[in-house]
Amino acid sequence: MAIYDVSGGEITSVDNAAKLKLYPWPVILGAADLTTSAADAGTLQGDVFTLSGGAGVYAAFDVPVSEVESQMVRFRAGCTALTGGAKLVIAGVKKNSTESAAVDLCTLGVGSVEQDIDLAWYDVYSTLDMAKAVSVRIVLNAAGSSVTLNAPELCEKVMDCAYVDEGGATLGKALENVQTAIQSASGGFDGQFTAPDGSKYILQVSAAGEAVFTPVVPSKALFIGNSLLVGFGQFGMCASNAQSDYYYHVTQAITAKNASFTAAKAGGTAIEAATDDDTLDTAYNNIASKVTNDLDLIIVQLSDNTNSTEKIAYLKNGGAKRLLSKLRTAAPHARVVWAAAWYTSTERLDAIQAACAATGCEFIPFNDLNTAENRGAIGNTITYPDGNTSTVEASGVASHPGDAGMLAIANRMLEKLGIG
C-alpha cells in the first residue's frame, strides 16, 4: 500500500502517523513510461503527453501482469484535446498462437478518463495470452488524428477497504471509521430457532407473506457461481483437484450432518455480465430449471466478473435485487445466501449487501481471504477427474484461490451458515 502525506507526496516517515494518507490505487506507470509505435508519434512536456499520427498509431503502457498482485489495474488521464478519434485497448497475442490480438476497452473523449481493467478476467475469458507481453494502448482511429492526455497513469489496486474511499483517506480518519463500525456492531440472537430434537431453523417470510422455517442443515442445495465454482470444468479454479475446491468442502461438511443431502451447480458468468433487466432475465432463464421449489439452500457466488462501469451500475441499481427476488420466488423455502467475492470492490460488496437486506437474503463477504498464501501459483499441478493433469502457467489463473484459499472460503461459508 502506498503511503502519502496530505499534499500527495510519497513518504517513508512522518511525525504524526494519523496524518498519513492511504491510497488504494497507487501509480505504477506514468507518462514517461509510455512507448509509441512510431518514433515521432509522441511528445511529452512535463506530465502532458500528445500522440499524433494515422489510424492504428498507438502509445502503450507495458503491463507487468505477473507483478500485479490484485490482477486489477486502472488507466486514468485527463483528455484535454482530441482530433479524429482515439480508443483504449488491451493488446497482446492470442493463446496458443503468435497472432496479435486486441480488445477494445473504451472510446476516449475530452474530459476525465478512468478505465478499470481486470487482468484475471481477460486471462480466463478472453483469447489474450496473459502469460506473454500485454499492453494497454491509446490507439488513434483515423489519419490526421491526435490526442492530448494530462498525467496518463496506470495504477494498481492494492487494497479495498470500506474505511478508505477511492480518493484515499488519512490513517486517522480510517481508524475512526473502524472504531465506529465496531461500536455499532451488535451481538446476541443469532437468528436461529431450535426444535425439541435440537434441529436448527431460520425464520423467513415468503413472497406470499407467509412465515417459513428453513432448516440450517439443508437437504437440497444449488450453488450458482463463476470460475471459482466451475473454472476447471468439474471444479473450481485454481484448486488442485475436484476434492479441493470450496464446493467440495462445503458439501462434504453438510453431508456429514445430513446423509440425504444433495447439491447441484449452475454457471452464472452470464448473470455477472448483465447490464439491464433483459440481459439478466435471459441469463437467469438459462439456469431457471435448476431453481426448484424443493431447494432449502441457494448459494450465489457471483460478481467477480461484474467489472465494467455498466455492469456495476446495473448491479447497484436493481440487478442484484432482481436476481435475488427471482430466486426467492422460484424457491420459496430456500435460504438464499450471496457469498462474495475474490475479485471485488467496496462498491460491489455494498450493492450486494443492500440487495440482500432488501430481499430477505443473507450476505457472506470473503474478499479479505484473497491473500498471497491463499492464491494458486504458477507451476502448480492440476489433476482432473479423468486423471489427466496440467500445469498453471498464467498469472490470471494463478490469482484464483488455491487449495488453501478454497478451504478458507468454504470455512467462512460454513461458519456464517451456522453449519461449521
* Predicted local distance difference test score (pLDDT) of residue 192: 84
Q: What angle do CA 222, 225, 231 make, to 5 degrees?
A: 125
Q: What cell numbers appear for 199 in the block? A: 434441529
* Predicted local distance difference test score (pLDDT) of residue 396: 95
**Residues 6+ away with beta carbon under 8 Å from 47:** 30, 31, 150, 151
Three-state secondary structure readout of the chain: CEEECCCCCECCCCCCHHHCEEECCCEEECHHHCEECCCCCEEEECCEEEEEECCCCEEEEECCHHHCCCCEEEEEEEEEEEECCEEEEEEEEECCCCCEEEEEEEECCCEEEEEEEEHHHHHHHCCECCCCCCEEEEEECCCCEEEEEEEEEEEECCCCECCECCCCEEHHHHHHHHHHHHHHCCCCCCCEEECCCCCEEEEEECCCCCEEEEECCCCEEEEEECHHHHCCCCCCCCCCCCCCCHHHHHHHHHHHHCCCCEEEEEECHHHHCCCCHHHHHHHHHCCHHHCCCCCCEEEEECCCCCCCHHHHHHHHHHHHHHHHHHHHHHCCCCEEEEEECCCCCHHHHHHHHHHHHHHCCEEEECHHHCCHHHECCCCCEEECCCCCEEECCCHHHHCCECHHHHHHHHHHHHHHHCCC
> Which residue is listed with cell 420459496?
332
> Which residue is listed with cell 443469532?
190
Q: Cβ distance 327 to 290 under 8 Å? A: no
Per-residue pLDDT of the chain in tens (420 residues, 90 and over written 9):
455 544 455 555 555 555 676 778 889 999 999 999 998 999 999 999 999 999 999 999 999 999 998 899 999 999 999 999 999 999 999 999 999 999 999 999 999 999 999 999 999 999 999 999 999 999 999 999 999 999 999 999 887 776 666 666 676 676 666 666 655 554 455 678 888 998 999 998 887 788 889 999 999 999 999 999 999 999 999 999 999 999 999 999 999 999 999 999 999 999 999 999 999 999 999 999 999 999 999 999 999 999 999 999 999 999 999 999 999 999 999 999 999 999 999 999 999 999 999 999 999 999 999 999 999 999 999 999 999 999 999 999 999 999 999 999 999 999 999 997
User: Residue 213 carries which side chain, given as an amino acid letter?
Assistant: F
Q: Cβ distance 45 to 81 under 8 Å? A: no
Domains and CATH numbers, the chain: 28-171 (2.60.120), 191-417 (3.40.50.1110)
Q: For the whole model, what pTM was predicted?
A: 0.79
